[in-house]
Structure 1
Amino acid sequence: MFELYKERNLSDNLSDTITFFKTFGKHFFKNFFIINGIFLMILMVLIYFISKIYTEVLFSNANNFANNPNYLSNFISENIFLVLGGFITAIILIAILSMLNITFPIVYLKLFEKEHHTNFSTQEIINELKKNIGKMIAFLFGTAFVIVPLAFIIFGVLILLCFILIGIPLVFIAIIGFSSWIMLSYHDYILNDVGFFKALSNGYYLLKLKFWTIVGTTFLMMMLVQIIQGIITIVPYMFMMGSMFVSSQNAGSQAENFSTLGILMTVIMVLSVVLSYIFNNFIVINQGLIYYSLHEDTQNYTTNNQIDLIGTDVE
């Protein structure tokens, strides 16, 4: 049986994440696409049209740029309502999908902890998500008005330190540590009856317990995800490069070549966005296992449960 509450080192965090998806991946992603599918499709269509319009303006009107350097700004001014409407809609959809995408794995692990199996239904997951809508919104605003300004201050100082070289590794470590701190805090915020700032405090405390193990695990998981995404997206990218080469050799019009290139770039953009949302589940689950592992280290859930079970089979 897969254990959430378990002491884990760096290799355990990685191997258990992979084991989790090998064991429960089918049930996990089936529910993920049922719940997030509609938002993903809407976002895909929106990104497709925005990217298509942008690439058409950029490539199909290349001659206009040569004759008029302000062509792009003029195009935006003439279509300001369309541009703003698309931008605002995209921001809202991205915010909704991002919060659902991050919260879904947390709620999934919560139900797994409660039921000790994955026989729970899609409706149970939806009900848990509904219960946490207020927390999702609160954390989103807290991130925008508290965490983001704090990040600007911290990384601004570290960037200044880059001029004396010591800041370069510090920025790298800080980005990973900061990301893990936010994720641990969000887990605590969703799973427990705590306020926003208390969750941030608890997340910081958990991060300090095994800082280097957490940073190392998070870095390796992010790298693994990026490598897999890169391998998948490199196929259409290579196809695009080949198409550019062929187009440059044939006698087709420049407009047709740019149009083909624009479509390929749009497809790659849409694919990259969708893959980032799908593979983000691996990072969140990995952070969730770290969260449960840290609580096992501090509160000994497994030992306490075993003590509670002593004598339960005695008639």
Structure 2
Amino acid sequence: MFQLYKKRNFNDLIGDTFNFFKVHGKNYFANYIAINGGVLLVLIVLLYFFIKIFYDGLFTNGLPNSGNGFESYFLQNIELFIGYGIGAFILILILTLINSLYPIAYLKLVERNEETNTTNIWKYIKSKIGKSLVFFLLSLVILFPITIIIGFLCFALVFILIGIPLILIVIPALFTCISFTYYNYITTNEGYFDSLSKGYKLFTKKPWPLIGSTMIIYFIVNTVVSFISFIPYFIGIFGVMFNIETEGIENQQETISFMIIMFGITFILSISLNYLLQNIISINQGIMYYSMIDETEKTSNISEIDLIGSNEE
């Protein structure tokens, strides 16, 4: 059994993130695919056909289309492009909403010592969809402008060098504060502004380990996503170079076709991995949240009592 309420230092925050997946990883991702897999698959299929239609617009009778030719093709199929765009937007919203609630639901069931099955997870998610929508709408008005202003100031300071270390500190700090606010708002009965205040207070209790943990987990996840996603892209690049050297430019259409297919695979793979592996970042934020709750409310002793008689998985 994984213990959520526990005092953790910097190393523990990172180590326990991966320990969580050692204990719950198989069950976690199996339930994630069961809940989110269908929507993600539909999105991938939609993106595949969108890329295919876009590719068809670039070539007419096997030849590259001129700028005017592609513009004419786009105008003739504008309803199709708009339909795909609206469909993709709706699916991305659904995926983002469920993606943000899934790790919270799973950790809540772990906290309650309830069975982490698809039924219980989905039941919790459905009960919190309304609160999640309210949070995102309020944050769009309150947190989003503040984040944009702070981000702009940091990027502006890049020109005098001090902005570079500021970005590395401020962005993870903002991300963690918002994550703590969201976790608290969803898992408690506190209001938005109370959760915002609590999220900030939890963060400032031990900011540097939290910032460091967020940076490292984010770096690991994005490195893995980038490395795996760009494999088809580099295959496409080397394939194009090989075809040009061996066959010349006569088979230009075939070469470009292969390149576009590889680009499409890269794009789809990147989206799929991002949704899947963002769970690692979200779980890391959840573990930090429960650790900071323990720092303020001393709940680890209660958790240890609850674990008496339980066997570690």
Q: TM-score normalized by structure 1?
A: 0.89
Contact 1:176/1:215, CA 8 A, preserved across alignment:
yes
How many aligned residue pairs are there?
305
Displacement of 1:302 in angstroms is 1.8
Amino acid at match of 1:46: L
Task: Give 1:64's aligned amino acid.
Answer: N
**Contiguous gaps of at least 5 residues in structure 2:** 309-313
* Segment drifting more, 52-61 vs 25-34: 52-61
Tell me the equivalent position of 1:232: 228
- Of the candidates 125, 139, 144, which is equivalent to residue 143 of structure 1? 139
1:127 Cα shift? 0.7
| 1:73 to partner: Cα distance | 4.7
Distance 2:56 2:168 in 1: 37
Amino acid at match of 1:93: L
- In 2, the alpha carbon distance for the partners of 1:25 and 1:170 equals 34
Q: Say if 2:158 and 2:164, in contact at 8 Å, map to a contact too.
A: yes
More moved, 48-57 vs 256-265: 48-57
8 Å contact 1:240–1:261 — kept in the other structure?
Answer: yes
Matched, 1:200 2:196: yes
Q: What do the CA deviations read for 1:238-273 (whole angstroms, capped 9, x no partner)? A: 322222123223255211211111111101110110
Q: Which amino acid aligns with 1:283?
A: I
Aligned partners of 1:56, 1:173: CA distance in 2, in Å? Answer: 45
Partner of 1:152: 148
Q: Deviations over 1:153-172 (max 9, x none)?
A: 22122222223222222123
Secondary structure of 2:65's counterpart equals helix
Residues 196, 50 of structure 1: CA spacing in aligned structure 2 closer, same or farther, 3 A cutoff? farther
Given candidates 62, 86, 89, the residue that maps to 2:87 is 89
Q: Which residue of 1 aligns with 2:296?
A: 298
Q: Is 1:50–2:47 an aligned residue pair?
A: no
Report if the CA contact (8 A) 1:59-1:262 is conserved.
Answer: no
- 1:56 and 1:262 in contact (8 A); partners too: no
User: Is the contact made by 1:52 and 1:262 (CA closer than 8 Å) also made in structure 2?
Assistant: no
In structure 1, the partner of 2:12 is 12
Cα deviations by residue, 1:191-232 (Å, 9 ceiling, x for unpaired):
101222222222111111111111100000011112222332
Matched residues in 1 for 2:42 and 2:240: separation?
29
1:227-306 map, 5 Å: 227-248=223-244, 249-250=246-247, 253-304=251-302
2:58–2:65 CA contact under 8 A, matched in 1: no
**CA displacement at 1:120 relative to structure 2:** 3.3
Between 173-182 and 47-56, report the one with greater CA deviation.
Answer: 47-56
The corresponding residue for 2:126 is: 130
Question: One-letter code of the match for 2:14?
Answer: L
Does the CA contact (< 8 Å) of 1:225 and 1:279 recur in 2?
yes
Give the C-alpha shift of residue 72 in structure 1.
4.9
Larger CA deviation: 213-222 vs 228-237: 228-237
Instruction: Tell me if structure 1 keeps the 8 A contact 2:181–2:198.
Output: yes
SS in structure 2 at match of 1:132: helix
Q: Once the 2 structures are TM-superposed, how far is the Cα of residue 114 of structure 1 from its aligned partner? A: 0.3
CA RMSD of aligned residues (A): 2.4
CA distance, structure 2, for counterparts of residue 309 and residue 121 of structure 1: 20
Superposition deviation, residue 56 in structure 1: 4.4
TM-score calculated relative to the size of structure 2:
0.89
Q: Which amino acid in structure 2 is aligned with residue 51 of structure 1?
A: I
